[in-house]
A and B are shown apart, each in its own frame.
Chain A
Amino acid sequence: MTVPVIPIEHVLALAAALFVMGLVGVLVRRNVIFLLMSLEIMMNACGLAFIAAGAKWGQPDGQIMFMLILALAAAEVAVALGLVLQLERRFDSLDIDTAGEMSG
């Protein structure tokens, strides 16, 4: 009855690929806006993995975890964009490395 038409391995491979892309974005880009976008991509990939697992077993738990990730992403982006505004005001730049003076 609940035979998944789409093989779960392929969905998980897609989620892993998207996650790695987000990770590469975080590591490579130095613009804060792009860092935040890459974080969104990574969280979205996690959500995709949860949905795939939920679809595999036909249970709503995967979608609920996705909704919690959604709430987390919204909260994170609101605070982080406030920090971006502060960064731009204090350092007059969006480069994350300009804020590295606390590294001792």
Chain B
Amino acid sequence: MALALFYIAAAVALASTVLVITRRNAAHALIYLVVSLLSIAVIFFLLGAPFAAALEIVIYAGAIVVLFLFVVMMLNLGRRSAERERLWLRPGMWIGPAILVGVLLLEMLYVIVLDAPGTTRGAVVGPKEVGTALFGPYLLAVELAAMLLLAALIGAYHLGRRYLGDRREELS
């Protein structure tokens, strides 16, 4: 049965990814990107990596996509934004993502309610093993990732501060 769940989630991932790269509107593409990431999180779960699935949802679908959305909204601040938002939030636009997410929701309900006979139960690598390995042999990689994130923080602050400064001068 895990096989069928995997193929359904894979189909959802492929369909939503095609829709991401063919949309004209960035906000719609971001919604489909969230659907794609959610379906890949389902696949991670089926592969016996529940921790990676949680991280996929929290960081990718949560933090990174929200960052994208912030910038998309910010770039449209001045230009006829009310009219644009009405165009974005047309009710018909939500049907596609809603159907795809509904499929994933049905899968999740199936796994939770029927307690998922036949998923990769023997081969689950849980958070405990991941944490032990992460802060054991991979400690140096964690330090490097920390430095990378610090560099990104400083870089993003530098680039964004000049933008906001000029923006404020234009407005005042």
Let me know if A3 and B52 touch, CB within 8 A.
Answer: no
- Residue A55 contacts which of B125, B134, B155 (CB distance < 8 angstroms)? B125
Cβ of B100 under 8 Å from chain A: no
A60-104 interface bits toward B, Cβ cutoff 8 Å, 1 = contact, 0 = none: 111110111011111111110111111011000010000000000
Give bound CA distance, A68 to B145, whole Å.
Answer: 7
When distances are taken between beta carbons in the complex, the residues of chain B under 8 Å from A82 are 155-156, 158-160, 163
Contact A78 B156 (CB under 8 A): yes
Given the known inter-chain contacts A6-B2, A14-B10, A18-B14, please indicate yes or no for A77 contacting B163, CB distance below 8 A: no
Q: Is the Cβ of B47 less than 8 Å from the Cβ of A18?
A: no
Q: How far is the CB of B58 from chain A (nearest CB, A)?
A: 10
The answer to whether B59 and A6 have CB atoms under 8 Å apart is: no
Q: Check B148 against A33 for contact (C-beta < 8 Å).
A: no
Give chain A's interface residue range (CB within 8 Å of chain B).
35 or more
Residues of A within 8 A of B (CB): 1-6, 10-11, 14, 17-18, 21-22, 24-25, 28-29, 31, 33-34, 36-38, 40-41, 44, 47-48, 51-52, 54-55, 58-64, 66-68, 70-79, 81-86, 88-89, 94
B68-80 interface code vs A (CB 8 A; 1 in, 0 out): 1001101100000
Q: Looking at the assembled complex, report how far the CB atom of A68 sits from the nearest CB atom of chain B, in whole angstroms.
A: 6
Known contacts A21-B21, A41-B21; 10 additional CB pairs below 8 A are A2-B123, A21-B17, A22-B17, A28-B21, A34-B26, A37-B30, A55-B49, A55-B120, A77-B64, A82-B156
Inter-chain CA distance A28–B151, complex, in Å, is 30
Q: Is the CB of B163 within 8 A of A86?
A: yes
Cβ of B129 under 8 Å from chain A? yes
Majority secondary structure of chain A interface residues (helix, strand, loop or mixed): helix
**A11 to B48, alpha carbons, bound, how many Å?**
13
Q: Measured between C-beta atoms, what is the minimum distance from A76 to chain B in Å? A: 7
CB nearest to B119 among chain A residues: A5
Shortest CB-to-CB span from B38 to chain A, Å, is 11
Q: Would A74 and B123 count as touching, CB distance under 8 A?
A: no
- How far is B153's CA from A12's CA once the two chains are assembled, in angstroms? 33
CB-based contact B26/A31 at 8 Å: yes
B35 at the interface (CB under 8 A from A): no
B152 touches A81 (CB 8 A): no
Partner of A5, one of B120, B133, B151: B120
